[in-house]
Amino acid sequence: MAQMNMIEAIRSAMDVVMDKDPNVIVLGQDVGYFGGVFRCTDGLLRKYGDHRVIDAPIAEGGIVGAAIGMGLNGLRPVAEIQFADYIYPGFDQVVSELARIRYRSCGEFWSPVTIRTPCGGGIRGGQTHSQSPEAIFTHVSGIKTVMPSNPYDAKGLLIASIESDDPIIFFEPKRIYNGPFDGDPEKPAVSWASHPKGEVPEGYYTVPIGKAEIVRPGDELTIVTYGTLVHVAAAAAEAVGVDAEVIDVRSLSPLDADTLIESVKKTGRCLIAHEATRFGGYGAELSATLQRECFYYLEAPIRRVGGWDTPYPHAFEWQYFPGKKRLAAGIRKVMETAA
């Protein structure tokens, strides 16, 4: 075991699979010589050469299109989109090609592409470097969508993603890139280097895609969330003093609905939280699923807490996404409301 933050865990995952499988290729803007804007690919060019770590032009459609072609020809490309905000020029390639190849060819062809991209706020990046577009991709049949909340899961899920024959969008919450929260999760991190790291195996292992994790057991309330807000939710439940069960979805699509349903049937109450805009967000699908399956067990209406229904505001970044106070208020409302 080694102490790693999420950046180091993601880099280790790519190193492990590239060493194990010569067909794994990394490509994207600044991933080679510069080592990535967040240093996730630092050192891979020196170790594996420029035929396996490829600096691409600023053309996301070209990056995704090239990766699809590589996958169709027997490679396992890991394409980095520098920020999730930049993925839209490649969206047509993802939806019209990558997600449809296996279905369109009746299983004759497939392209095992993993697209890595940092998402969410917390670095004062404004509306063009802070978006959380995961719901857009969970809507698309034919691709899987993953978002880890800690270094251990980040490495295990990324290895599983690269080795999967299915195309996968791998979102990386950059607010927790350099370590889990230390202290108040609502306070902006000034020096991320001081944050504690997590224990991560140095070698090969996988975390299964399609399985949620109960990160905090409880009996009074179920909080369903993922990414950065896993840490915020746990802190909010602690602050309110509610025996809340916090579930990290991890795999947004496919969804481990059984774990969520079992928890809500046990607690009778549910709060869903995500950093992305609330209206039309991924939480709406979670709410619909749990409402359908747990209706007769609910003691209060399911409640959602999300980002503001506005473009990402640079000046009010820490007010935009749900912090400990907003989640605590949501917890209180669910606990005080009768069905």
272: phi then psi, degrees, rounded to nearest 5: -115, 135
Q: Residue 101 corresponds to which amino acid?
A: I
Provide the token pair at 46: 């020196």
Is 139 tagged catalytic?
no
- Residue-wise pLDDT for 217-267, tens only, equals 999 999 999 999 999 999 999 999 999 999 999 999 999 999 999 999 999
Instruction: Tell me which residue of 156, 171, 267 sits closest to 228, measured CA to CA.
Output: 171
Domains along the chain? 2-200 (3.40.50.970), 213-336 (3.40.50.920)
Give the Cα-Cα-Cα angle 314, 317, 321 (nearest 5 degrees): 140
Q: Write the DSSP symbol of residue 90.
A: G
In the predicted model, is pLDDT for residue 3 greater than 60? yes
Tokens for 311, please give them: 């473009």
Position 130 pLDDT exceeds 50: yes
What would the two tokens of residue 124 be?
Answer: 């004062």
285 exposed, middle or buried (CB, 10 Å; 0-12, 13-18, 19+)?
middle
Predicted local confidence at residue 186, as pLDDT: 56
Work out whether the CA dihedral 208, 212, 214, 219 comes out positive or negative. Answer: negative
Phi, psi dihedral angles at 106 (to 5 degrees): 55, 40
Name the DSSP class of 96. Answer: I
Residues 6+ apart with CB under 8 A from 43: 11, 15, 35
Name the CA radius of gyration of the chain, rounded.
Answer: 19
If you search the block for the tokens 């896993």, which residue do you land on?
Answer: 230
- Residue 337: the pLDDT is 80
Phi, psi of 25 (to 5 degrees): -125, 140
Paired sense of beta strands 198-200 and 213-216, if any: unpaired
Mean predicted confidence (pLDDT) in 109-126: 92
Q: How many CA atoms lie within 13 A of 76 on its CB side?
A: 19
- Catalytic: which of 129, 195, 231, 274? 129
Question: Which amino acid, 55?
Answer: D
Q: What is the pLDDT of residues 287-331, one digit of tens each?
A: 999 999 999 999 999 999 999 998 888 788 888 889 999 999 999
Does the CA dihedral 66-68-72-76 come out positive or negative?
Answer: positive
Other beta carbons within 10 angstroms of residue 82's beta carbon come to: 22
